[in-house]
Amino acid sequence: MSFKPSLFEERRHRLIEQLPDRSIALLFAGRAPYMSGDHAYHPFHVNRNFYYLTGIPQENSALLLTKLAGETSETLLTERVDPVEEKWTGKRLTETEASSISGVTKAVDIAELESTIGDLLSGGQYETLYLDMEVDSWKQTETEAHRFAAVFQKKYPTIALRNPYALITRMRAIKDQAEIDAIRHAIGVTKNGLHHMLTHAKPGMKEYQLEAYFNFALRYEGVSEHAFPPIIAAGERATILHYVNNDGIAEDGDLVLCDLGAAHLGYSADISRTFPVNGTFSPRQRQLYNIVLKAMDAAFAIIRPGVTRADLLSAVRASYGRDLREIGLIENDDDISRYFYHGVSHRLGLDTHDVGPDHVPFQKGDIITVEPGLYIAEEGIGIRIEDDVLITDDGFVNLSDDIPKQADEIEAWMKMQPLM
């Protein structure tokens, strides 16, 4: 599976339509940061907005769009192929290859970026440069776009600078069919990885050994992309939300929480499952596990366009309020936060916590996670169950519905044969 160039053409067209006349847009792919010696940080992921509009996965590239008197143009800037350099660092995309991926027909050597922009501006007809600075934040590390902006503003103080980040991320929030298919694929790979892990799990294993079974299944299928580093947390460590050390032992009687995902063509899966490492939930574990499942169903019961993330959280908390009081774990709803202390949903896409406007209700085409959890440190139990769902016209489709989730299904899954 790969993306068709028409997909990127259509996205660029939609972006350019939203830009005012007399404007230029420039998006950098970015470059891998220097690490040490003669090494940079690799693998390197290009800027996601750049990728969304071009499909080009290669660093040191840029996309240049112009709009003037109703006429638009597109130029892709890439590194000129250097046969000697390639003997060391591997193949670069040729102009023809880059063009057949992105659908941009005009190619320019990235070394000519300044002169290309200079030529455009020499006629005095452009008023605005849209430069993708990513999210505006004090904490943002300096990017190529920041460095370019500093030089550019000195040379062209009368040209306005604007950040197209909000425009592009609003587009990215609503997924098209190709993106839905990519995420479905990533979820399928993730399911196979989980199968491999669960069918090999035994008490006494290190968390990283469980992780290795997951990674093996991915790599065996040729998958090298993880959406994020897998979280494999047994016992009390599962109550630490972003635990990534994965170096503890999953003892007999422990529940193991895993939160992980493969990626496909840059698109993330984000799945959590919790299983008893010895293959059987204890009565107490099953009771708590079912309370989390019930909270998840409370969220599923209301998901459709117009509903907000806050609504999902309220539904989950209401469910916990009833059930945790019933088992005597809490006395009033304020105590829920002692055992459940995170949000219940985020967007999913090219970023695992995907971009888009905040505080807007779900719309058709959103892909979101649903992930209630329950963390009882004093009992050494952490549970999280997470599915990925697509918002439709009148409800949702659970994209990860075929990954076992009921306690009985999990136990049966663990008894199955490994796939490989």
- Footprint of Mn ion (CB under 5 A): 270, 369
Least separation in angstroms between CB 255 and Mn ion:
18
Residue in 78, 140, 142 with CA at minimum distance from that of residue 113: 78
Of 369 and 400, nearer to Mn ion (C-beta) is: 369
Peptide bond just before 43 cis, omega within 30 deg = yes
Of 269 and 414, nearer to Mn ion (C-beta) is: 269
Residue with nearest beta carbon to Mn ion: 270
Least separation in angstroms between CB 257 and Mn ion:
12
Of 66 and 369, nearer to Mn ion (C-beta) is: 369
Least separation in angstroms between CB 349 and Mn ion:
12
Residue in 306, 401, 299, 400 with CA at minimum distance from that of residue 340: 299
Residues 6+ apart with CB under 8 A from 23: 66, 67, 126, 127, 128, 129, 130, 162
Least separation in angstroms between CB 175 and Mn ion:
16
CA–CA separation, 28 and 13 (whole Å): 18
Of 306 and 343, nearer to Mn ion (C-beta) is: 343
Spatial contact of 302 and 396, defined as CB atoms under 8 Å apart:
no
Task: Starting at the earlier edge strand, list the strands of the sheet with 255-260.
Answer: 231-234, 255-260, 271-276
Of 190 and 369, nearer to Mn ion (C-beta) is: 369
Of 63 and 403, nearer to Mn ion (C-beta) is: 403
Kind of pairing, strands 271-276 and 62-68? unpaired
Spatial contact of 357 and 308, defined as CB atoms under 8 Å apart:
no
Of 26 and 390, nearer to Mn ion (C-beta) is: 390
Least separation in angstroms between CB 299 and Mn ion:
13
Spatial contact of 216 and 170, defined as CB atoms under 8 Å apart:
no
Of 179 and 371, nearer to Mn ion (C-beta) is: 371
**What secondary structure letter does DSSP report for 395?**
S
List Cα–Cα distances, 407 to 230, 282, 404, 415, in angstroms: 22, 11, 8, 13
**What secondary structure letter does DSSP report for 397?**
E
Spatial contact of 74 and 54, defined as CB atoms under 8 Å apart:
no
Least separation in angstroms between CB 228 and Mn ion:
9
Residue in 210, 236, 202 with CA at minimum distance from that of residue 383: 236
Least separation in angstroms between CB 346 and Mn ion:
6
Least separation in angstroms between CB 243 and Mn ion:
14
Spatial contact of 351 and 250, defined as CB atoms under 8 Å apart:
no
